[in-house]
Structure 1
Amino acid sequence: MTDRRRFGGTDPDSRVRARRIDRGFLATAAAALTMVFAVLLHTVWAPAPRGGTAEARQEETAAQPQRPAAPEQRPAASEREKECADGSDPAASLKPATATGEAVRRIDERGFLKVGVDQNSYNWSHRDPQSGELVGFDIDLVKAIAEDLLGPSARIVYKAISTDQRAEALAGNDVDLVVRTMTILCEHLDNDVAFSTAYFEAGQQLLVPHRSRITGLNSSARGKRLCTAGSSTGEKELSDDAHGVKMIRVPNQLDCLVLLQLGRADGVVTDNALAAGQAAQDPSVGLVGEPLTSELYGVAMSRKDEDLVRRVNHVLEEFREGGESSQWQKSYRKWLDEVLDGESATPPKPLYRD
């Protein structure tokens, strides 16, 4: 289960905010990046008038601190999917191997690795404003895979893909891998996608402005406009009419933060690990309520590339090895422990089906 302490909370810790300020230029530039998107989207999503109904004006001027939902209002986090239609556990992957097959040979002969990534997920996969290079936890993993396949200084071609294009990019052979905080789900497996073993555990949670009266996905959110990315776990969660919300679908999760900043959405439902990065970009927003789900991230590949799946699992075995000195822990401490309130974490244990 996800350690809820890592992601919960209704107000950012003052110590964390201070460290965010210390990061200075990087955090400011990252926040500026989201506003560039805001300008681009402004032509489609015009800001709501400052007048409007009395209810809207009351919400706009509210500045009360967020209050946690009463325990009986908090939805219990759903267990991750543990069984697909054929009875298999979606998180169970192929055992690690270093043998070269058709897919690994294809990459070697080409001389570079094609990887589908995001370029706007802060501390997961975003462009450093100083170097212009992609950096983050996911990028560290991509580099480890590329080095294993192609040796030191391996050439990597990054392709920015939206959340709702991840499976299509693999099906069309546009990329060899997708490393984009992609949740291991049966529905992805049904689309001829194969996954590595899990490399991170997260859960869906609600991100709202600090002035908001929304306290979670409960009665306080009924009738509100909640944004999520298409083909995401958040979309699946909000498709349940029982929540009584107005869902807004967008291609990329960062678009939701932009709509939140423009006042065109009241909240964002996304992975809490991603939302924590968005809160670091924009300190005026924060996570509320409890995680709604427990889910695992995996490296996605085409189902036909079994040798590549095994090779990536071999890399992940090495990425996790070494306890506190492992590459996983080093990457976590560098990119994520600050935005996740400094809580310690460990990688999920791998599951194999053969």
Structure 2
Amino acid sequence: MDERRTRGVSLRGWGGVAAMAVVCALTAVFALLLPLTQRTAAPADGAGMGSAGVADGTQARATDCEAGVDGKEPERSLRPSGDESGDAVREIKDRGYLSVGVDQNSYRWGYRDPNNQDKKSELEGFDIDLAHEIAGEILGDPSAVRLKAIPTNERIPAIQRGDVDMVVRTMTISCERLKDVAFSTAYFQTGQQVLAPKTDKDIKGFGPSLADKRICTATGSTAFDTLDTAKKSGKLPASADISTTVPNQLDCLVRLQLGEVDAVVTDGALAASQAAQDPTVELKGDPFTEEYYGVAMKKDADGLVRRVNKVLEDYREDGGWQKSYDFWLKPALGASDGPPAPKYK
């Protein structure tokens, strides 16, 4: 990982949601202050790493995919290979740059810091580091990447249309999504969690305390699918209102701040980052699912999937993943033992 993406700099807060609202095409008139933090380069040996609190699911996953979807464990992927003769990889090399769909408003994952004048508000974060890492291994230049900000509900369509070569955007691997795209092996583990105002003492987490509550999720997210299934099965009260969905997950935080919803359900890793943005909200209860993030690509791009899995293998072994985690996510999520072990078919 190059110095540009790992050196310690001061993150002094955004001074308000107004800047983020412009990025998200939202209209907001209130201020969102970030706590003062200091980013420092992580130790090379990863000493003192424990287990991040939001990384462990507390409810068993349904791992049996439907007929026609390969494998009972969705996060299993093609075995890694350094071979670059596949059509998708050759196309990228001939073009001279990698096109990656990313987020631009998930704090510490993929976002712009308008207060960081040195970087002129360029995209940065944990997922952005990974996009640069993939470009560096395939093209020999971490900067040979074009980052395209896409909303949550456009992740799969952007891949299918060929707008991007891949999506690196806190995207959970699931049986349903495997019908439309291919995934790398998992590079991050988390779980769905509830985010709500600290002042709301009634909400205890997922379950009965969400009765009569208005809950926001992102359109096309695994959070909405989970809540919809839970309502139908009776695990979530029938009176819970899950009708509010938004194109970008951060829009849920805005709705929460405006009082338009009572709670947000999203991946705990994202929720913790949002709680770091806004000290008036907090995580409620434990994670109630087990989720794995993967790099999404076209279904027929087997060579590219294998090449990305080789990048992820190297990223784990050379300490790059741990350095990026410590740099971006440790302040919000706590220490981590490292990425999930790769699983191959």
* TM-score of the pair, normalised by structure 1: 0.79
Unaligned runs of 5+ in 1: 1-22, 44-75
| Pair 1:300 & 2:296 matched | yes
Structure 2 contact 75–173 (Cα < 8 Å) conserved = yes
Among all aligned residue pairs of Structure 1 and Structure 2, give the percentage whose two residues are the same amino acid. Answer: 50
Q: Give how far 1:127 is off.
A: 1.0
- The 1-side partners of 2:143 and 2:10 are apart by 32
Q: Give how far 1:36 is off.
A: 5.1
2:312 to 310, 313, 316: 316
Partner of 2:12, secondary structure, is helix
List structure 1 segments (4+ residues) > 6 angstroms apart after TM superposition: none
1:162 to 151, 159, 166: 151
Q: Give how far 1:91 is off.
A: 1.0
Q: Give the equivalent residue in structure 1 for 2:26.
A: 40
Per-residue CA deviations over 1:182-225 (Å, capped at 9, x if unaligned) read 0000100111x000010000000000011012111222210110
2:132 to 143, 163, 171: 143
Q: Give the equivalent residue in structure 1 for 2:344.
A: 352
Rg comparison, structure with higher value: 1
1:196 to 175, 180, 184: 184
| Pair 1:121 & 2:106 matched | yes
2:223 to 234, 243, 254: 234
- The 2-side partners of 1:123 and 1:333 are apart by 11
Q: Give how far 1:232 is off.
A: 0.8
> For residues 228-307 of structure 1, what are the structure 2 equivalents within 5 Å?
228-239=217-228, 240-241=230-231, 242=234, 243=236, 244=238, 245-247=240-242, 248-307=244-303
| Aligned CA-pair RMSD | 2.0
| Pair 1:93 & 2:77 matched | yes
Partner of 1:352, secondary structure, is coil
Q: Give the equivalent residue in structure 1 for 2:59.
A: 78
Q: Relative to structure 2, which stretch is displaced further, 216-225 or 198-207? A: 216-225
Per-residue CA deviations over 1:232-277 (Å, capped at 9, x if unaligned) read 1110111132323111111110000000011101010000000111
One-letter amino acid of the structure 1 residue matched with residue 241 of structure 2? K
Per-residue CA deviations over 1:134-173 (Å, capped at 9, x if unaligned) read 1111011111100111112542111111111111111100
Mark the CA change 1:38 to 1:169 in structure 2 (over 3 Å): closer, same or farther.
closer
One-letter amino acid of the structure 1 residue matched with residue 283 of structure 2? L
Q: Give the equivalent residue in structure 1 for 2:35.
A: none
Aligned residues: 294
Q: Give how far 1:35 is off.
A: 5.4
Per-residue CA deviations over 1:20-77 (Å, capped at 9, x if unaligned) read xxx975333475544557993469xxxxxxxxxxxxxxxxxxxxxxxxxxxxxxxx83
One-letter amino acid of the structure 1 residue matched with residue 82 of structure 2? T
- The 2-side partners of 1:162 and 1:350 are apart by 27
Partner of 1:28, secondary structure, is coil
Per-residue CA deviations over 1:113-150 (Å, capped at 9, x if unaligned) read 11000000000111132121111110111111001111
Structure 2 contact 93–138 (Cα < 8 Å) conserved = yes
Unaligned runs of 5+ in 2: 1-8, 30-56
Q: Give the equivalent residue in structure 1 for 2:324.
A: 331
